[in-house]
Amino acid sequence: MEPPVAPQRNDYYSDEDYNLAEFEDLNDGDIIYVRWSVEHQRAYMYSTLDRPTQWVYDWTIRKTVEVGMGQNLRAPFDAYDIEGSFVTIHRELLDEDGNPTIVALDADYEHDDVEKILDHKIESYAANKIMFMFSVR
């Protein structure tokens, strides 16, 4: 079974196909997208430089980043490799204005919290439509 084709617009969102993660590879400027296909009940990924999609198997967020960065990653991925904030968007947990709740962690100071998130499987965030955004080197 082939994964879905990457959407024309990377910010495209629907209840059938939505972003789980978006991370920037600061080594080459690539942006890797991890999306959830409700139809297939699986995650898939693609990047701006490599449009063909591939399934995200039973991977943790850490493993997904390692696969997405490929040759640009010279050592095992660690929260200290994240530059700036590690942002979590809770689409199902709305604030008083009806907007998704956004939580930003500083990977340098909240390293342990980010590490716990990185070790969870991507699928565990799909049901609640939680999305992660960060930049990594």
- Using one digit for the tens of pLDDT, what is the confidence trace for 47-86? 988 778 999 988 999 899 988 888 776 677 888 899 999 9
Burial class (CB in 10 A: 0-12, 13-18, 19+), 110: middle
Count: domains in the chain: 1
| pTM of the predicted protein model | 0.90
DSSP 111: H
pLDDT reported for residue 68: 87
Q: Is residue 39 part of a domain?
A: yes
Q: Is residue 84 part of a domain?
A: yes
Q: Which two tokens stand for residue 135?
A: 């930049």
pLDDT reported for residue 127: 85
Q: Is residue 3 part of a domain?
A: no
Sheet holding 82-94, edge to edge: 54-56, 42-47, 30-37, 17-25, 130-136, 82-94, 100-106
Q: Is residue 5 part of a domain?
A: no
Q: Is residue 101 part of a domain?
A: yes
pLDDT reported for residue 74: 65
Contact 33, 46 (CB under 8 A): yes
pLDDT reported for residue 80: 83
Q: Is residue 9 part of a domain?
A: no
Distance separating alpha carbons of residues 87 and 137, to the nearest angstrom: 16
Within 10 angstroms of residue 124's Cβ, the number of other Cβ atoms is 11
Domain with 130, as residue range(s), is 17-136
Q: Is residue 124 part of a domain?
A: yes
What residue ranges of the chain have pLDDT lower than 50? none
Select from 114, 134, 133, 121 the least CA-distant residue to 42: 121
Contact 33, 10 (CB under 8 A): yes
Phi first, then psi, for residue 73 (nearest 5°) are: -100, 110
